[in-house]
A and B are shown apart, each in its own frame.
Chain A
Amino acid sequence: MPNFIMSYLGSTVTPGEAGNQFWALIYVLIIFAAVSLAVVAMNWFERKALAHFQIRLGPMRVGPHGLLQPIADALKLALKEDIIPAEADQFVFWIAPVIGLLAAFTVYTVIPFGPSQAVSDMNIGVLFMLGVSSLGVLGIVVAGWASNSHYPLIGALRSSAQMVSYEVAMGLAVVSAVLMTSMKTGTGTLSMIGIVESQQQQGIWFIFKFFPLGLIAFVNFVIAMIAETNRAPFDMAEAESELTAGYHTEYSGLRWSLFMLAEYAAMIAVSSIAVTLWLGGWLRPFPNLLNAPAWDFIFSLFPGLTFGALAAVAVIGVMRMPVHPYFRVQRIGLAVFAALLGFIALFLLVIALAGRSSDATVAARFRDGIDYVYWFVLKVALFMYLFIWCRATWPRYRFDQLMRVGWKVLLPITLVVLILTAIVGVIVS
């Protein structure tokens, strides 16, 4: 069996391309677990970061520095009574969160964490991603309708209008990135892996391509993506102060947590798309400029060092905790967590060292795989921070203003950028 695993680690294509359903299934499971874990981590991180923006501490009680808070929350939600309003449409009420969740998670099938670290490399990857993420709106609309209540209905109508209109700007921004893939070879590609590879070939992230056209398209995409995921400052659908909770007002317990899971999964998904299209996906910084093997080695140390730094932060946290019987369990818990992080760091460093020896060995491939995933996740994490930052900083747009921004500002700008990209591309080539 180890040989079997190792033989796959040496593969250079995605399991979908190889037609290997077994590995594709394993990838799907890994991604599902990882995304769920990421959502849990994001939950904790959002609460902590938001709290520190707002001069509070955030969760501190459940586990050291509230590390176990998301788990406690999940348990609480799972154990809560699952209320279906008497007048609600039972079946639709039941299926609505599932639709949202399915749409959010299906997008991950085409997201490339590395040149072979994806479930599948569809040649219509970008279109698939746009289409599937647009299905998420169905869950919201249907949830609002099935609740048979005014606030959810208004929330659902708002968010459906919002998501449908921002999808247009989003799609056009994506098209301008796709257009850039055709610059050197003459034929563009819609495959997500192909897009990253063409950034590698052209030696430039598309955010810097045809400066500032790529940048403008990227910024437009980011704005549209925040609106698309119903996050502040575009969180009309769940505007707490206006519509109590928008489309999920009537939901409780596990079902509600499915909505949350879908929302965060969708956030991570759209961020991954932005990273893939404009920020070079899995590519490390300056892959062309600093391409000596020594640089490869130095950059391959980053994952281990990152985990080492996290472990150091945890150790500092242990040191700073008051020495008091009350904090004994928490200290021990944090120390164990630090040890865990340190162990991961050590493991990653060992792999980086092992992969140094030669290029074609399994260890080298494994090291590369970790590198790819590391850089990808790091870029996505920056986007996650951006989401939180926006939420902490800005007031909420009003619905009509939101639509105005979408149709009268974002859409024309994106359209002009698209046309200019085409013109510049023709002139250059």
Chain B
Amino acid sequence: MSAAAKDGTKENVNDVSGHALPHAIPSHLHLETPEKPYLDSNELIINMGPQHPATHGVLRVILKLDGEKVLGTECVIGYLHRGVEKIAENRTYAMFNPYVDRMDYVAAVSNGLGYCEAVEKLLNVEAPPRADYIRVILTELNRMASHQLWLGTHALDIGAMTPLFYTFRDREEILKIFEKYCGARLTTHAFRIGGCQYETYAGFEKDVKNFLTFVAPKIDEYEELLTTNRIWLERTKNVGVISGEDCVALGVTGPVLRASGVEWDLRKAQPYSAYSKFDFDIPTGENGDTYDRYLVRMEEMRQSLRIVEQAVNSIPEGPIMAKVPKVIKPPVGEIYHSIEAPKGELGYFIVSDGSTQPYRLRVRPPSLVNLQALDVMVRGLLVADVIAVIGTIDIVLGEVDR
């Protein structure tokens, strides 16, 4: 991570939550096995993945087990590496825009938003207000879609099959709106540098409002299935506990951080786009366990609905594209811009040498950084919990490997 980003994080953490960033990583977070296990011969090394139904893609986790107890884990990543950052150096700024959709493919809109805003910051242009509102609406819908996908797969990992189909049914409505707006469902490429390319289609607002009334009871439906379910409680309470301090020390962001009690959301802390104009809460948990992370994400879905409702009711008229030169040639310099993606802080660090292509582009993917917390969370738990914890971190391997 760049120095600028580190400094920014440090200050903000101190400001917002009072958690001091430790000077060194605490010793209990070190990755080697803490004590010599009682018996070596009982250790079992198991390869979970890369072909495993519950590692959400091609993550490979090497588990060191004592019976079923996890002594340590090691994540092997890179099976989906496509060299996105290197590709960026050989594409113009506009050409690279679709590539970011392929990182976190379940939250493509957020990725695009972060990239466009970073380049805009570099160019020193600002998207017009109407474009900002459209961006917020789509991004929040996308956050919801991402959380729904997470909920379905997470519940499936823990053994509840049915929520998966419920969430997919409702996610479908979001994807339909995306499709109507920009023609694509998953890798949307919805935004352009300087604003949005497309004006909203006729009936966009009606569609969104219909969706809001449609989905609100559905969230209660998911909660009905899971929140007070005894087995769900037993599987998630006190599983994968991580403290706020550890989260901060490891750079974990997003719902995982908030579930550990740190009220840190870039939408509030460093408002970007039009977020400062909306009224919403940051849900936080107390225990930092899997159940809290579940509750935080469920509440985030509701808050997303609130934001979308406000945005769609007060969407201003006006242009949707700022004045951006045909050939984008940012001035020499560097910029770090981060947004609150569904999975955490998604940052883009761009170094420009004044040409049409970035000199260096670095992505700070929330999934990769959050994945580091896996070892801390699962040590001492059982194999089944590893599955639950991988699910609760909410990783997308496209983003981890890039």
On whether A and B touch (CB less than 8 Å), the answer reads yes
Interface residues, chain A, with chain B CB atoms under 8 Å away:
50, 53-56, 150-151, 154, 232-233, 235, 239-244, 391-401
Known contacts A242-B54, A242-B387, A233 near B166 by CB under 8 Å: no
B382 touching A400, Cβ below 8 Å:
yes
Residue B383 at the A interface, CB < 8 A? yes
Q: Which residues of A contact B225 (CB under 8 A)?
A: 393
Q: CA A397 – CA B46 in complex, angstroms?
A: 21
Measured between beta carbons, the chain A residues less than 8 angstroms from B164 are 54
Residues of B within 8 A of A242 (CB): 54, 383-384, 387
Is B37 among interface residues, defined by CB-CB distance under 8 A?
A: no
Residues in A with CB closer than 8 Å to B90 are none
Quick check: B166 and A232 within 8 Å, CB to CB?
no
B53 contacts A244, C-beta separation under 8 Å: yes
Contacts of B387 in A (CB 8 A): 241-242
A241 and B162 contact, CB distance less than 8 A:
no
Q: Which residues of A contact B54 (CB under 8 A)?
A: 240-242
4 extra interface residue pairs, beta carbon distance < 8 Å, beyond A54-B165, A397-B159:
A50-B161, A232-B159, A239-B159, A400-B382
| A398-B385, A399-B384 known; A241-B157 Cβ under 8 A | yes
CB pairs A–B below 8 angstroms (30 shown): A50-B161, A54-B164, A55-B165, A56-B165, A150-B44, A150-B46, A154-B68, A232-B159, A233-B159, A239-B384, A240-B54, A241-B158, A241-B159, A242-B54, A242-B387, A244-B52, A394-B160, A394-B231, A395-B226, A395-B229, A395-B231, A395-B232, A396-B231, A397-B159, A397-B231, A397-B234, A397-B235, A398-B234, A399-B382, A399-B384
Name the residue among B46, B52, B159, B235 with the largest chain A CB count within 10 angstroms.
B159
A401 partner residues in chain B, CB cutoff 8 A: 234-235
Q: Is there a chain A Cβ closer than 8 Å to B169's Cβ?
A: yes
Interface: B156 (CB within 8 A): yes
Q: Bound complex: CA of A154 vs CA of B44, how far in Å?
A: 11
The listed residue with most B CB atoms (<10 A of its CB), out of A233, A242, A391, A400, is: A242
**B71 CB to nearest A CB, Å:** 15
Would you call B138 an interface residue if the criterion is a C-beta within 8 Å of the partner chain's C-beta atoms? no
Identify the closest chain A residue to B233 (Cβ).
A395
Q: Which residues of A contact B157 (CB under 8 A)?
A: 241
Interface residues of B in 266-319 (CB under 8 A from A): none
Known: A241-B54, A400-B382. A53 touches B162 (CB 8 A): yes
Q: Which of A150, A232, A235 has the most CB of B within 10 A?
A: A150
Cα distance A136–B166 in the bound complex, in angstroms: 36
Q: How many B residues touch A, CB cutoff 8 Å?
A: 30
Scan residues 51-66 of chain B and give those whose CB is less than 8 A from a CB of chain A: 52-54
Min distance, Cβ A353 to any Cβ of chain B, angstroms: 45
Chain B min CB distance to A50 (Å): 8
Q: How distant is the Cα of A241 from the Cα of B68 in the complex, in angstroms? A: 15
The interface residues of chain B lying within 8 Å CB-to-CB of A244 are 52-53
Q: Is B155 an interface residue (CB 8 A)?
A: yes
CA distance A366 to B157 in the complex (A): 51
Q: How far is the CA of A239 from the CA of B48 in the complex (A)?
A: 14
Known: A54-B165, A150-B44. A398 touches B384 (CB 8 A): yes
Complex contacts, B46 vs chain A, CB 8 Å: 150-151
What is the bound-complex CA distance between A391 and B162, given in angstroms?
Answer: 9
Closest to B52 in A: A244
| A20 nearest CB across to chain B (Å) | 48
Cβ–Cβ < 8 Å partners of A151 in chain B: 46
A401 to B236, CA, bound (A): 12
Give which listed residue, B159, B160, B226, B234, contacts A235 with CB less than 8 A. Answer: B159
Q: Which residues of the other chain, B, contact A243 by a CB distance below 8 angstroms?
A: 383
Contact of A395 among B44, B159, B382, B385 (CB under 8 A): B159
Report Cα–Cα, A396/B391, bound state, in Å.
14
Question: Is A396 touching B159 in the complex (CB atoms < 8 A)?
Answer: yes
A393 to B158, CA, bound (A): 12
Q: What does the 1/0 interface line of B215-230 toward A look like (CB < 8 Å)?
A: 0000000000110010
Closest chain B residue to A56, Cβ basis: B165
CB neighbours (8 Å) of A53 from chain B are 162
A274 and B158 CA atoms in complex are apart in Å by 29
* Minimum C-beta distance from A378 to chain B (A): 26
Rounded to whole Å, the gap between the CB of B77 and the closest CB of chain A is 20
| Complex Cα gap A56–B161 (Å) | 12
Shortest distance in angstroms between B163's beta carbon and chain A's nearest beta carbon?
A: 9
Task: Please state if A54 and B162 are interface contacts (CB–CB under 8 Å).
Answer: yes
Q: Which of A154, A393, A398 has the most CB of B within 10 A?
A: A398
CA A399 to CA B386, docked complex, whole Å: 13
B162: min CB distance to chain A, Å: 5
CA distance A244 to B169 in the complex (A): 26
Q: How far is the CA of A331 from the CA of B136 in the complex (A)?
A: 51
Nearest CB on A from B153, distance (A): 9
Contacts of A399 in B (CB 8 A): 68, 382, 384
Measured CA separation A239–B226 after assembly (Å)? 19
Minimum distance in angstroms from B44 CB to a CB of chain A: 7
> Whole-angstrom distance between the alpha carbons of A397 and B53 in the complex?
18
- Closest B residue by C-beta to A240: B53
Shortest A197–chain B CB gap in Å is: 39
Contact A396 B235 (CB under 8 A): yes
Chain B residues with CB under 8 Å of A232's CB are: 159
Task: Find chain B residues with CB under 8 A from A55 CB.
Answer: 165-166, 169
Q: How far is the CA of A169 from the CA of B349 in the complex (A)?
A: 61
Least Cβ distance of A219 to chain B in Å?
Answer: 15
| Residue contact B382 to A398, C-beta cutoff 8 Å | yes
Contacts of A241 in B (CB 8 A): 53-54, 156-159, 387
8 Å CB contact of A233 from B68, B231, B382, B383: B231
List which B371-391 residues lie within 8 A (CB) of chain A. Answer: 382-385, 387
Q: Which chain B residues lie closer than 8 Å to A394 at the CB level?
A: 159-160, 229, 231
Task: Kindly supply a per-residue 1/0 record for chain B positions 193-237, scoring 1 wherever the CB is within 8 Å of any chain A CB and 0 otherwise.
Answer: 000000000000000000000000000000001100101101100
A395: chain B residues within 8 A (beta carbon): 155, 158-160, 226, 229, 231-232, 235
* A399 CA / B388 CA spacing, docked (Å): 13
Residues of B within 8 A of A235 (CB): 159
Which residues on B sit within 8 Å (CB–CB) of A233?
Answer: 159, 231
